[in-house]
Chain A
Amino acid sequence: MKKEILLLSHHPDDPTFLAEVALKVGAELIVAPNVDRAVDLISEFQFIAIFVDVDNVSNLRNLENELQKRLGLFSNQIQPNRIHFVSDRELSENRDVTLSPLFGSYYQRPKQDLEQNGGFYGRQVLASENVTTHRLSYYLAQETKIQKLLLNHTHLKQEAVEAVRQYLISAKIPARISNIIANSVDEILMNAMFDAPCDAFGKTIYSATERNDDRILKGQEVVEMNIGFDGFYVGISVADFFGSIDRKRLLNHISANYRDRDYTIRAGQAGAGLGIATIFNTGGSLIYHCESKAKTEVTLLYRAFPSYRQFKSQFKFFSAQFYD
């Protein structure tokens, strides 16, 4: 079946990056010169991915309005899971775009290595096309050994985090970078153990429970972690089996910015509400894949660099994919 990717952007770097994405996924790249033409094309084709330059705010608003007018924002032709926002700015500096009903994935344009990073992002497009298990394998080179760990007790979290840290150090990843990745794993494990479990009505069970609570994780509460390193990229995924994460809340947390306003400790909440933003701010890509009432899988991807400076400025993306 023929596949197409749509690009709505006038930025000179975008076609180069997207050509590599298209090559990776075996699709044809179609560039729309304006919003009107983009909406025409969206009506005509079932694009596997739509890339929109969101630095031009009117571009995004016009696209939303035109789509709403001509197709309806909830049309089958428009799936946020397949929409990718492109910007020169970091997500934390671009909070407004997370409010768009079209928001699915976001990346800040890489300043260099457009081809290589485009090829890497192609893996994300491939992964978002396939709602399957073993998603980590889409992001790592073929034949990469992926190790699986099941956690059936909350006290195993710190042991798992330490095991990840040791794994990275043994893979010759600098200690400082290993600590940062381990910390991110800590956050997503904590969310899977304490924030994901909910009752039949979708009400969270442990959100007010102290995070040092010693508890057996039974049945649906078991948390699965996978880790792999292909020599260039480290991939770690953590899955819970509730599929309960709230899109609005997730997008609010990811773009949280406490640089310019004070952080306030909220009474009645055991979590800090800081973890997700911290993960994305400290380097690496973050992908949420939520199958409603079944599973939420969070994937962390990091390019392994010998220096922290390179690590921190690596190309990264955020993706929030929700499936009913």
Chain B
Amino acid sequence: MLTVNKQQTDHRLEVELNGTIEENVNLDQLIGPFEGELIVKCRGITRINSVGVKTWMRYFQNIKAQGKIFKFIDCSHPIIEQLNMISNFACGGEVVSVLLPFSCLKCQSEFIASSKTSDLKANHLKIPAVKCEKPECAAQFDDDPEEYLYFLEE
């Protein structure tokens, strides 16, 4: 199930997607008509199945064909998996920022940090060092950096 929080301003619509994108999701209905650009906040997307991928691509390909501009903010792991597996998954939208997963085997914590793709590119896709609040934290990036940021490679 997917829930959508919307905020329309003069020049853009911001939508926050939370939950699972699957066969019951209708992005046309959930997002609705909008003016200006579309900002899609992806932090809360926990899962997307193959039919969800099709739904996503159909929706964003359609709005791209209408000449609309759209951007993806804080792309969560399931979205990054798709960006890495399907070359045209972003459908021409700009991926502004991604969530980077970290885990600490010492304090058993998992957490995420947001990073702008422009910063990552400027830093040659090097993952920034991030720690949780605990002084003994030995958090590491919990993925293969090259694989995770593959879609950002030129």
Task: Name A's B-contacting residues (CB within 8 A).
Answer: 158, 174-176, 179, 182-183, 186-187, 190, 210-212, 258-263, 265, 270-275, 277-278, 281-282, 306-309, 312-313
* Distance in Å: Cβ of A161 to nearest Cβ of chain B: 9
- In addition to A187-B49, A212-B23, 15 A-B residue pairs with Cβ atoms within 8 Å of each other are A174-B110, A183-B49, A186-B22, A190-B51, A211-B23, A211-B51, A262-B87, A263-B88, A263-B89, A306-B103, A306-B105, A306-B108, A309-B141, A309-B143, A312-B147
Are the C-beta atoms of A308 and B142 separated by less than 8 Å? yes
Complex contact B103–A307 (CB within 8 A): yes
B: residues with CB less than 8 A from A are 1, 22-24, 46-51, 53-54, 57-58, 61, 77-78, 81, 84-89, 101, 103, 105, 108, 110, 140-144, 147, 150
Among A176, A210, A258, residue most surrounded by chain B Cβ atoms (within 10 Å): A176
Name 13 interchain pairs, CB-CB below 8 A, sorted by A: A179-B78, A183-B78, A186-B47, A190-B49, A212-B23, A263-B88, A263-B89, A265-B57, A265-B61, A272-B54, A281-B85, A282-B81, A306-B108
- Within the assembled complex, what's the spacing in Å between the Cα atoms of A220 and B143? 42
Q: Tell which of A263, A272, A307, A308 touches B51, judged by Cβ atoms closer than 8 Å.
A: A272
Pair B50/A210 contact, Cβ less than 8 Å: no
The closest CB in chain A to the CB of B51 belongs to A211
The reply to whether B87 and A261 form a contact with Cβ atoms under 8 Å apart is yes
When distances are taken between beta carbons in the complex, the residues of chain A under 8 Å from B23 are 190, 210-212
Nearest CB of chain A from residue B145's CB, rounded to whole Å: 10
A263 touches B57 (CB 8 A): yes
User: In the complex, what distance in Å separates the CA atom of A187 from the CA atom of B49?
Assistant: 7
A270, A309, A312: most-surrounded residue (chain B CB, <10 A): A309
Q: State how many angstroms separate the Cβ of A302 from the closest Cβ of chain B.
A: 16
Complex CA distance for A282 and B84, rounded to whole angstroms: 11
Contact A265 B54 (CB under 8 A): yes
**C-alpha gap A278/B141 in the complex (Å):** 22
Contact check, A259 vs B84: say whether CB atoms are below 8 A apart: yes
Contact of A258 among B47, B49, B77, B87 (CB under 8 A): B87
Q: Is the CB of B101 within 8 A of A258?
A: no
Cβ of A271 and Cβ of B85 under 8 Å apart? no
Q: Which residue of B lies closest to A273 (CB)?
A: B50
Cβ-defined partner of B85 (8 Å) among A182, A186, A259, A306: A259
**Residues from chain B with Cβ under 8 Å of A282 in the complex:** 81
B77 contacts which chain A residues (CB < 8 A)? 176
A262 touches B88 (CB 8 A): yes
Contact of B47 with A182 in the complex, beta carbons under 8 Å: yes
Residue of chain B at shortest CB distance from A158: B22
| A85 and B41 alpha carbons, distance in the complex (Å) | 43
Given contacts A259-B84, A282-B81, contact A176 B54 (CB under 8 A): no
Once the chains are docked, how many angstroms separate the CA of A313 from the CA of B147? Answer: 11
When distances are taken between beta carbons in the complex, the residues of chain B under 8 Å from A312 are 143-144, 147
Please measure, in the bound complex, the distance between the C-alpha atom of A183 and the C-alpha atom of B57, giving whole angstroms.
Answer: 18
Contacts of A274 in B (CB 8 A): 50, 53-54, 86
CB-based nearest A residue for B145: A309
Q: How far is the CB of B17 from chain A (nearest CB, A)?
A: 15
Q: Is the CB of A183 within 8 A of B47?
A: yes
How many Å lie between the Cα of A210 and that of B23 in the bound state? 8
How many angstroms between the C-alpha atoms of A270 and B48 in the bound complex? 16
Knowing A179-B47, A272-B50 touch, does A259 contact B81 (C-beta < 8 A)? no
Which listed residue, A186, A263, A309, touches B49 by the CB 8 Å rule?
A186
User: For A306, what are the chain B residues with a Cβ–Cβ distance below 8 Å?
Assistant: 103, 105, 108
CB distance from A2 to the nearest CB of B (A): 43
Q: Cβ of A179 and Cβ of B46 under 8 Å apart?
A: yes
Residue in A175, A259, A307 whose Cβ sees the most chain B Cβ within 10 Å = A307
A213 to chain B, nearest CB (A): 9
Check if A309 sits within 8 Å of B87, measured CB to CB.
Answer: no
Task: List chain A residues, Cβ under 8 A from B108.
Answer: 306
**Measured between alpha carbons, how far is A308 from B77 in the docked complex, in Å?**
11
Quote the shortest CB–CB distance from A300 to chain B (angstroms): 14
Closest to A313 in B: B144
**Pair B101/A176 contact, Cβ less than 8 Å:** yes
A36→B24 CA distance, assembly (Å)? 56
Which of B23, B141, B143 has the most chain A CB atoms closer than 10 A to its own CB? Answer: B23
